[in-house]
């Protein structure tokens, strides 16, 4: 695709409304962001995503998660941001401080992508109820836009508005415009290293293991030494520290007050790739296991996504999600969930025995 066509497509996108449907009711009277504002916000989100200080789903806005990721990125460089705190900035619509960032490295902001047969093969029947889900061998993406949005770390409404009228009938060979991020490849999840795998009938069936041990040298080959995870339940941000250095941060969803995430000091026990999940409504709602449950098959739309990072406490883990739009906003059932593209990156930075502080 030549430059003229690319910018024509971007111009079409800019002319349409870019607010997600969930935000339209709240921002009925807000002015539409201009082309430069949209491109600048997207450029910053891509920059942070590439640096492993994830803003969550890319949506072309200076949202709270983007501001938090930026603040942590600056902290990792020993800097202090002059941007107002997220809540105050959102009210005043103040753009964040981006002085000193190499945003020119993100060029172009949007790139063309050709839909492949593999993208279509990851899509299939996706019943909503656990009894029907349990009958399947795999829980795939709901449709092609769902798969493409996750592949490019995007809000699906943003992707639709970037490609007006194209996604409803999309097929292999079609071209779409996407944010210029490193794609999340579903097929590569099985090859993620390091981390000791835990083969299970269901990821959340692991027994407690108070003194989780470090994995073998072979399992931990390539993993950074002295890695610690710090999870702030107030800001919904998970930090990865290597010694005294902050090396990455990802937005998360933590448990509600009803099913709170386990505050305290824990250890990474192991990693399950493409896990199964034991769905027990009584356990999820009231914390009590029952005999009425369903074992859900693996897949990107499994409730725990594509990866389960087990902690040394039964039923509790750090995991992916079947709803990336919920990250940083909704409450989980006691676990810690990340977008699938983020949990996979996190898994490459940790190993069995690493500490996890939840506070």
Please report, for the domain that includes residue 234, its CATH number.
2.40.440.10
Task: Let me know whether 42 and 168 are in one domain.
Answer: yes
Task: Let me know whether 62 and 31 are in one domain.
Answer: yes
Task: Let me know whether 198 and 176 are in one domain.
Answer: no
Task: Let me know whether 174 and 286 are in one domain.
Answer: no
The answer to whether 300 and 310 are in contact (CB under 8 A) is: no
The answer to whether 297 and 34 are in contact (CB under 8 A) is: no
Task: Let me know whether 108 and 222 are in one domain.
Answer: no
pLDDT at 291: 73
Q: For residue 343, which of 326, 324, 312, 318 has the smallest C-alpha distance?
A: 318
Q: Which of 153, 182, 211 is the last residue of a domain?
A: 182
The answer to whether 307 and 273 are in contact (CB under 8 A) is: yes
Q: CB-based burial of residue 78 (10 Å sphere; 0-12 exposed, 13-18 middle, 19+ buried)? A: exposed
What's the pTM value of the predicted model, to 2 decimals? 0.82
pLDDT at 216: 45
Task: Let me know whether 134 and 252 are in one domain.
Answer: no
Task: Let me know whether 51 and 135 are in one domain.
Answer: yes
Task: Let me know whether 197 and 174 are in one domain.
Answer: no
Owning domain of residue 271: 187-358
Task: Let me know whether 70 and 149 are in one domain.
Answer: yes
Using CA atoms, how far residue 335 sits from 245, 262, 328, in Å, is 26, 8, 13
The total number of structural domains in the chain stands at: 2
Q: Which of 160, 182, 204 is the last residue of a domain?
A: 182
pLDDT at 161: 92
The answer to whether 203 and 308 are in contact (CB under 8 A) is: yes
Task: Let me know whether 60 and 110 are in one domain.
Answer: yes
Cα dihedral sign for 331, 332, 336, 338? Answer: negative
Task: Let me know whether 176 and 232 are in one domain.
Answer: no
Backbone angles phi, psi at 197, to 5 degrees: -75, 145
Tell me, letter by letter, the H, E, C secondary structure of 160-185.
Answer: HHHCCCCHHHCCCCCEEEEECCCCCC
pLDDT at 288: 65
Residues of the chain with pLDDT below 70 are 1-33, 81-93, 194-225, 255-261, 282-288, 290, 329-334
Task: Let me know whether 223 and 88 are in one domain.
Answer: no
Q: Which of 140, 166, 182 is the last residue of a domain?
A: 182
Q: For residue 144, which of 300, 327, 12 has the smallest C-alpha distance?
A: 300
pLDDT at 292: 82
Q: For residue 186, which of 226, 218, 149, 219 has the smallest C-alpha distance?
A: 149
Radius of gyration of the chain (CA): 20
């Amino acid at each position: 695709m030549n430059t003229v066509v690319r910018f024509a497509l971007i111009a079409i996108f800019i002319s349409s409304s870019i607010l997600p449907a969930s935000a339209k009711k709240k921002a009925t009277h807000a002015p539409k962001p201009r082309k430069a504002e949209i491109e600048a916000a997207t450029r910053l989100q891509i920059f942070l995503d590439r640096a492993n200080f994830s803003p969550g789903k890319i949506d072309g806005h200076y949202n709270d998660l983007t501001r938090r990721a930026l603040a942590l990125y600056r902290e990792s460089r020993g800097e202090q941001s002059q941007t107002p705190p997220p809540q105050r900035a959102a009210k005043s619509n103040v753009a964040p401080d981006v002085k000193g960032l190499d945003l020119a490295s993100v060029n172009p902001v949007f790139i063309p992508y050709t839909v492949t047969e593999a993208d279509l093969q990851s899509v299939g029947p996706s019943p909503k109820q656990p009894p029907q889900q349990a009958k399947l061998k795999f829980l795939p993406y709901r449709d092609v836009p769902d798969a493409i949005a996750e592949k490019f770390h995007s809000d699906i409404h943003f992707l639709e508005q970037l490609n007006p009228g194209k996604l409803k009938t999309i097929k292999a060979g079609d071209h779409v415009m996407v944010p210029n991020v490193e794609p999340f490849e579903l097929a590569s999840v099985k090859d993620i290293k390091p981390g000791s795998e835990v083969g299970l009938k269901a990821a959340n069936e692991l027994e407690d293991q108070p003194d989780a041990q470090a994995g073998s040298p072979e399992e931990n080959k390539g993993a950074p030494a002295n890695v610690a995870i710090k999870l702030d339940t107030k800001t919904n941000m998970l930090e990865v520290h290597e010694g005294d250095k902050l090396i990455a941060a990802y937005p998360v969803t933590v448990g509600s007050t009803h099913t709170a995430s386990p505050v305290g000091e824990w250890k990474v026990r192991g990693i399950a790739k493409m896990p199964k999940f034991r769905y027990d409504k009584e356990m999820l709602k009231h914390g009590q296991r029952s005999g009425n449950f369903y074992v859900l098959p693996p897949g990107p739309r499994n409730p725990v996504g594509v990866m389960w990072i087990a902690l040394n406490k039964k039923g509790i883990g750090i995991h992916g999600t079947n709803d990336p739009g919920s990250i940083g906003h909704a409450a989980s059932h006691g676990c810690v969930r990340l977008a699938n593209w983020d949990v996979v990156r996190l898994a490459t930075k940790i190993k069995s025995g690493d500490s996890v502080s939840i506070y």
